[in-house]
Chains A and B, each alone.
Chain A
Amino acid sequence: GDSVTQMEGPVTLSEEAFLTINCTYTATGYPSLFWYVQYPGEGLQLLLKATKADDKGSNKGFEATYRKETTSFHLEKGSVQVSDSAVYFCALRNTGGFKTIFGAGTRLFVKA
């Protein structure tokens, strides 16, 4: 079945450091890919998405490119801030359906 694998956390960075959180997926067909974020004390919310190969999703300085050849959707940010501290979830939804599968989540701590 479909699945999503994320790098294990926690990831601890200093402010202004470069961030990469790896995500790979297994799916039949051509899924849409997502990153969701859960800030402390808040509910999950969509951060960005990409719906087809080579698409780049971006939001709040975060980017992720849909790489079909490597089945990956790595999340990147050039300069993290303390306010980016949160749990990040990679997810996929396959074509022809609504079922959305999430990865295990990666906790990010950003130190001032």
Chain B
Amino acid sequence: GAGVSQSPSNKVTEKGKDVELRCDPISGHTALYWYRQSLGQGLEFLIYFQGNSAPDKSGLPSDRFSAERTGGSVSTLTIQRTQQEDSAVYLCASSSEANEKLFFGSGTQLSVL
């Protein structure tokens, strides 16, 4: 596609449920990032994937969070046993090896009730 695509755009879930958020990066981009944007908290790094290298998971806030990237393209961020403090906008971005510029998707607004 022309840009980074994220789905769903909005997700409302009950506390304790698992959720999956999807990101489809720009074709050919080798790097893929997940960030979390909370009200008043700025942009928090979660995880990034680069090519076939092991992902940098240093930003994942707990073991309830995990992510995978299949075939070097689409990525899924999974949050297990969601908590109210997980409510935020989850942003995905991708970049090419030749360019440091990040291209962001529109995000998934997650609301945990």
- Is the Cβ of B31 less than 8 Å from the Cβ of A98? yes
- Is the Cβ of B95 less than 8 Å from the Cβ of A49? no
Separation in Å of the B79 CB from the closest CB of chain A? 20
- Is the Cβ of A99 less than 8 Å from the Cβ of B56? yes
Interface size grouping (class) on chain B: 20 to 34
In the assembled complex, the Cα of A43 lies from the Cα of B31 at a distance in Å of 18
For residue A86, CB closer than 8 A to chain B, the reply is no
> Contacts A32-B100, A44-B104 known; A89 to B48 CB distance under 8 Å?
no
Separation in Å of the A64 CB from the closest CB of chain B? 15
Per-position 1/0 for B42-63, Cβ under 8 A of A:
1101001010000010100000
Residues in B whose Cβ lies below 8 Å from that of A103: 42-43
> Contacts A32-B100, A44-B104, A45-B104 known; A104 to B48 CB distance under 8 Å?
no
- Is the Cβ of A93 less than 8 Å from the Cβ of B42? no
For residue A100, CB closer than 8 A to chain B, the reply is yes
- Is the Cβ of A100 less than 8 Å from the Cβ of B42? no
Interface size on A (CB < 8 Å)? 21
For residue A17, CB closer than 8 A to chain B, the reply is no
- Is the Cβ of A89 less than 8 Å from the Cβ of B104? no
- Is the Cβ of A100 less than 8 Å from the Cβ of B45? yes
Query: Restricting to B11-66, which residues have a CB under 8 Å from any CB of A?
Result: 31, 33, 35, 41-43, 45, 48, 50, 56, 58
Residues in A whose Cβ lies below 8 Å from that of B58: 1
Residues in A whose Cβ lies below 8 Å from that of B43: 44, 89, 102-105
In the assembled complex, the Cα of A36 lies from the Cα of B43 at a distance in Å of 11
Q: Which of A32, A43, A46, A98 meets B107, CB within 8 Å?
A: A43
Query: Restricting to B91-113, which residues have a CB under 8 Å from any CB of A?
Result: 91, 93, 95, 100-102, 104-107
- Is the Cβ of A104 less than 8 Å from the Cβ of B45? no
Residues in B whose Cβ lies below 8 Å from that of A93: 100
11 contacts between A and B (CB under 8 A): A44-B91, A44-B104, A45-B104, A46-B102, A89-B43, A97-B50, A98-B31, A98-B95, A100-B93, A101-B45, A102-B35
